[in-house]
Amino acid sequence: MKSTNCLSLLLVIALEVAGCAPAGSTTIPTQVETPVSSPTLFPPTSTSTVTPSATVTPTLPPTLGPEQAKETIRTLLQEPVDCEAPCFWGIMPGQTTLDEATNIFVHLGLSLKFTATLDGKDFYAANYNLHDGIEVSPVIAIQNNSVKSLDVGINDTSEVGDPRKWTAYSPETLIQRYGSPSRVEFSLGRVDNPSHTMILYFESVHMIILYIGRAEYFLNNKNTLKLCPLINKVDFIQFWMGDDPQYPPPVDVPLEKATSLTIEDFSKLMIGEPAKACFNLKEEAFP
C-alpha cells in the first residue's frame, strides 16, 4: 500500500513559525456556476491619475482587536466571503506586493516572519491559533517584491463529530463556487499513523487543495474502502494558490483509477446530501 507523502520542504520552513502538522501530511513553503463577487478585506486601490507634484501617503489599515480579529478570521474560514481564488484574504499572487500583504496580516493582528530564501524567492510565514481546535498557517513566496504564490495549512484538532470550522474550503463549497475540479487524486497511508489523502485541482483558478483524514474512518468492505469526504474527520487541509505553486503535491492515484466515478459523478456527489456523498476506493489501485 502506497504511503502518504511526507512533509515537503516548505512546510518545514513554515513550521519554524507555526508548529507541527499531522504526520503524513503533504506540504509546501492553497464552470458549473458563475462565481458571485465577494467583498475583500480591503477596497481596491484607486486608479485615478495623480499629478507629479502630488504626494500620496498610504493609509495603513487599523489593527483589529484580538476578539474582532478572531471573529474575522473565523468568518473567513467558514463563509466564502473572501476574494475569488487564487486570492486569499485579499492577497493575489502576481499582483499583491510584500508591503500590501504585510498590511493585510497586520490588520488581522498577525505578523509575517521571514523564514528562508529558496529558488530565488523569499518566504514569509504567519500563524494563528483560534484556540478552538483550528490553527491557520499561511506562507507566501515573494519574488521581485511581489507575491509569487502562497499556500495555507489548516490543522484541525477538534473532536470527531464537531461541525467543520473551515467550510469555506470544504469540497462542496469549492465545487459550488468554481465548478467541477479539473482532476482529483488519492493516496493511502498504512504505517504508524494510518491516513488517506484527497487532492482537488481547480486549474482554471490556479488552486490546489489537499485533505488528510484518518484511515480508521474507512469502512472495510472486502477489497474496497469507503470514503465519505463531507462527513469523515479531516485532520489537515492545505491549499496552494498561484499559477506557479512552490512544491505542489506529487502526482497520486487519479479518481478514475481509484474509484468507479467520473469527475462529473464526483462533483454531483459532493454537492448532494453529505451523508450520501460516499464512494469506494479500490484497494488494488494503491500498491
Q: What pLDDT sits at residue 28?
A: 34
The confidence band for 21, taking pLDDT boundaries of 50, 70 and 90, is very low
User: Which one, of 115, 166, 148, lies nearest residue 245 by Cα?
Assistant: 148
Q: Hey, what's the cell of 144?
A: 521581485
Provide the percentage of residues in the chain whose pLDDT is more than 70: 74
For 58, list phi and psi in degrees, rounded to 5: -65, 140
pLDDT in tens, 34-84: 333 333 454 433 333 333 334 334 455 688 898 999 999 999 999 877 788
pTM comes to 0.78
Mean pLDDT score of the chain? 79
Q: What mean pLDDT do residues 190-199 have?
A: 75
User: What tens digit of pLDDT does each residue of 97-147 get?
Assistant: 999 999 999 999 998 999 999 999 999 999 999 988 999 999 999 999 999
Nearest to 93 by CA among 43, 12, 31, 150: 150
Q: What local confidence, expressed as pLDDT, does residue 224 receive?
A: 61
